[in-house]
C-alpha cells in the first residue's frame, strides 16, 4: 500500500506536469500566431492568418474570423478541416444580423442549426468568442466542432488569446490602412496640384473638354483677360455656355472634327482686347486618347502670337517702305518735271482765259473747267510725289537731346493756330521731369502732327484730342488719343502700309502714317495703334530715353 503522503506528491507532480504542458502549448501557440501576424498588414490577411492558425492548432472542423470595420465593411475568412477556404458556407447575412441585434459580449456555445454561422456543415456545435474593438463588439472568432469533448478548456483559452491578438492586429492594420490611404490621397493631391501648377505656368491658354463638351480642366491663363473666367466657375459646365462670345456652330464643328478625325486642328484667330489692341492667336485642338485608343477628351491650347505676327508685319512694312524709297529715288524727279510743265501750261492758259483771249470760242466755259481740273490733278500728283520723296530722303539728320514736352506743346499750339477741325478740344497730360530723347526734333514733330491730323480727321463732328507723355522703364511714351470713329479690325494690320487709306479719293495719299512709321523706326522706336469702332483710336510712340552718363 502506497503511503498517503507519497500518493499526494505523485498527484501534485502529475497536475504540475499537465499545467506546465498546457502553459507551454498556449505559449507556443501564441508565439507562433504573433510571429505570423507580424507580416499581416491588411485586415483580410489578419483574418485569414488567425482562422488558419486556429484551425490547424486546434484541429477543429471549421474556423472563421469575421469583423465589420469602418470604411472597409465586412471582412471574413473561413477554413475547413482540410485547410481549404470555405467562405461560401459562412453565413454573412446571419452574422450581420447578430451584430445588429446587440450581440453577446462574452463567449457562448451555439447548438441549434438556426443559430449557426456555418451552414451546410457536418458539425454539431459552434463556439463563438466576440471580438472587441475599442470596447464594442465588431466581430467574432467562430469554431465549428462535432463533439464538445474535442474542445477542452485550453482550446477556449487559445481562442480567447487569438481573439485578443486579432483585435490588436486589426487596430494596427486599420491605422496602417488609414495612413496608407492618407498618404495615397496626399500623393494624389500633390500630383494634381503639381499638374495644375505646370499647366498654369505654361505661357498659353489651355482647357480640356470631355465627350459631352463639359470643361474638365481650365488653366490660369484662361482666367485672365477680357474673356477670362475663374476656374471654379467653369469646370463642369458646357463649353458653349462658357465661351458664348464665340459662334457656337463654328466652335462645335471644330470639336466634332477633332473627335471624328483624331487629328490635331490648328486655327488662326484674331481678337480685340479691352484696350482695342488686336491680338493674334493660334488655337490648337488636340485629341486625347485612353489606353484603348479611344478619343475621350479634346485639349484646346491658345497661343498668343501677337509679337510674332507684329514682327512679321513690321518686317513686311519695312520691306515695302524700302521698295517705295527705291522707287521714289528713281522716278520722282522724272515725274515732277513733266508735272511742273503741265501745271505751268494750265496756269498760263487760265491766265489767258481770264484776259479774254478765248472769249470768241463757244466752248470757253468748258475750257475753263478742264484747265481747272488739269491744274488740280497736277498739284495732287505733286503731293503724292512729295510724299514719295520723303522715303527717298535719308532721315539721319542732326539729332540732339530734345524735350518731348516742348515738342508736344509746340505741336498743340500749331494745331490751334491752324484751327484744324470744328469743335475739337485739345487736352495735354504730360508727366513732369521726363527724360530727354536723342532725336531729330523736326521729324518727331512731323510725326506727331501727322498722327494728330489723322485723329482730327476721324472726328468730323468734333471731339477730344488728347496728348499724353510719360516714362515707361527706359522709354518715353507719347500717346495721341482721339474720340473719333475708330478703325475697323480688318484695316488695323494695313494702316501703316504705303498708299493705304480709308479717306475719300482726293483727301489722302495713304503715305502719312507710313512716313510716321518710318520716322519712328529710324529713331529705334516703335509705333503702335489700338482702336475701338465708335469709341476712338490711340497711336502710341515709344522712343528710347537718353542714357545718362
DSSP calls for 109-153: EE-SGGG-SB-S-S-SEEEEEEEEETTEEEEEEEEEES-GGGS-H
471 backbone φψ class: left, alpha, beta (φ>0; ψ -120 to 50):
beta
Q: What is residue 267's predicted lDDT score, i.e. its pLDDT?
A: 86
Q: Summarize pLDDT for 346-400 with one digit per residue, the tens.
A: 888 878 777 777 767 767 777 778 888 888 878 777 777 776 666 555 555 678 8
**CA neighbor of 127 nearest in space, from 68, 48, 63, 47:** 63
For the chain, list residues with pLDDT below 50: 1-19
What's the confidence (pLDDT) of residue 440? 87
For residue 140, the model assigns a pLDDT of 94
Burial class (CB in 10 A: 0-12, 13-18, 19+), 436: middle
Long-range CB contacts (within 8 A, 24+) of 212-218: 213/238, 213/239, 213/240, 213/252, 213/255, 214/238, 214/239, 215/239, 215/242, 216/297, 217/299
Cell representation of residue 216: 474638365
End-to-end CA distance of the chain: 132
pLDDT of residue 233: 86
Q: What's the confidence (pLDDT) of residue 333?
A: 66
Amino acid at each position: 500500500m502506497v503511503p498517503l503522503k507519497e500518493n499526494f506528491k505523485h498527484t501534485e507532480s502529475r497536475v504540475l506536469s499537465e499545467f506546465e504542458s498546457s502553459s507551454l502549448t498556449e505559449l507556443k501557440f501564441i508565439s507562433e500566431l504573433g510571429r505570423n501576424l507580424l507580416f499581416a498588414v491588411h485586415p483580410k490577411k489578419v483574418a485569414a492568418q488567425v482562422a488558419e492558425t486556429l484551425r490547424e492548432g486546434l484541429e477543429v472542423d471549421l474556423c472563421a474570423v469575421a469583423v465589420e470595420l469602418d470604411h472597409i465593411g465586412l471582412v471574413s475568412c473561413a477554413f475547413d478541416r482540410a485547410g481549404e477556404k470555405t467562405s461560401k458556407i459562412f453565413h454573412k447575412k446571419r452574422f450581420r444580423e447578430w451584430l445588429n441585434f446587440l450581440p453577446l459580449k462574452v463567449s457562448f456555445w451555439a447548438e441549434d442549426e438556426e443559430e449557426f454561422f456555418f451552414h451546410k456543415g457536418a458539425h454539431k456545435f459552434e463556439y463563438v468568442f466576440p471580438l472587441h474593438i475599442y470596447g464594442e463588439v465588431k466581430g467574432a472568432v467562430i469554431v465549428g466542432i462535432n463533439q464538445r469533448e474535442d474542445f477542452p478548456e485550453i482550446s477556449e483559452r487559445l481562442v480567447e488569446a487569438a481573439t485578443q491578438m486579432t483585435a490588436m492586429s486589426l487596430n494596427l492594420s486599420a491605422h496602417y490602412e488609414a495612413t496608407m490611404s492618407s498618404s495615397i490621397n496626399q500623393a494624389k493631391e500633390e500630383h494634381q496640384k503639381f499638374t495644375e501648377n505646370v499647366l498654369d505656368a505654361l505661357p498659353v491658354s489651355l482647357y480640356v473638354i470631355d465627350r459631352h463638351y463639359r470643361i474638365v480642366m481650365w488653366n490660369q491663363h484662361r482666367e485672365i483677360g477680357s474673356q477670362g473666367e475663374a476656374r471654379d466657375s467653369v469646370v463642369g459646365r458646357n463649353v458653349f455656355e462658357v465661351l458664348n462670345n464665340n459662334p457656337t456652330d463654328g466652335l462645335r464643328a471644330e470639336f466634332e472634327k477633332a473627335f471624328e478625325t483624331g487629328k490635331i486642328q490648328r486655327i488662326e484667330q484674331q481678337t480685340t482686347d479691352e484696350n482695342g489692341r488686336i491680338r493674334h492667336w493660334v488655337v490648337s485642338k488636340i485629341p486625347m486618347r485612353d489606353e484603348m485608343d479611344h478619343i475621350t477628351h479634346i485639349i484646346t491650347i491658345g497661343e498668343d502670337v501677337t509679337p510674332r505676327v507684329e514682327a512679321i508685319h513690321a518686317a513686311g512694312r519695312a520691306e515695302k517702305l524700302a521698295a517705295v524709297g527705291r522707287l521714289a529715288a528713281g522716278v520722282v524727279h522724272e515725274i515732277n518735271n513733266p508735272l511742273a510743265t503741265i501745271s505751268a501750261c494750265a496756269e498760263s492758259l487760265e491766265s489767258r482765259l481770264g484776259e479774254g483771249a478765248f472769249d470768241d470760242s463757244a466752248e470757253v466755259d468748258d475750257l475753263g473747267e478742264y484747265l481747272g481740273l488739269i491744274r488740280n490733278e497736277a498739284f495732287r500728283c505733286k503731293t503724292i510725289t512729295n510724299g514719295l520723296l520723303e522715303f527717298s530722303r535719308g532721315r539721319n539728320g542732326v539729332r540732339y537731346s530734345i524735350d518731348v514736352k516742348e515738342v508736344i506743346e509746340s505741336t498743340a499750339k500749331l494745331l490751334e493756330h491752324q484751327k484744324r477741325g470744328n469743335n475739337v478740344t485739345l487736352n495735354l497730360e504730360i508727366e513732369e521731369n521726363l527724360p530727354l530723347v536723342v532725336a531729330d526734333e523736326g521729324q518727331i514733330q512731323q510725326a506727331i502732327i501727322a498722327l494728330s491730323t489723322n485723329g482730327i480727321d476721324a472726328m468730323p463732328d468734333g471731339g477730344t484730342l488728347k496728348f499724353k507723355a510719360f516714362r515707361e522703364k527706359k522709354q518715353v511714351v507719347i500717346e495721341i488719343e482721339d474720340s473719333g470713329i475708330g478703325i475697323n479690325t480688318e484695316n488695323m494690320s494695313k494702316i501703316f502700309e504705303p498708299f493705304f487709306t480709308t479717306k475719300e479719293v482726293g483727301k489722302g495719299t495713304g503715305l502719312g502714317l507710313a512716313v510716321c512709321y518710318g520716322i519712328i523706326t529710324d529713331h529705334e522706336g516703335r509705333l503702335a495703334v489700338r482702336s475701338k469702332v465708335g469709341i476712338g483710336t490711340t497711336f502710341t510712340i515709344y522712343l528710347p530715353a537718353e542714357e545718362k552718363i
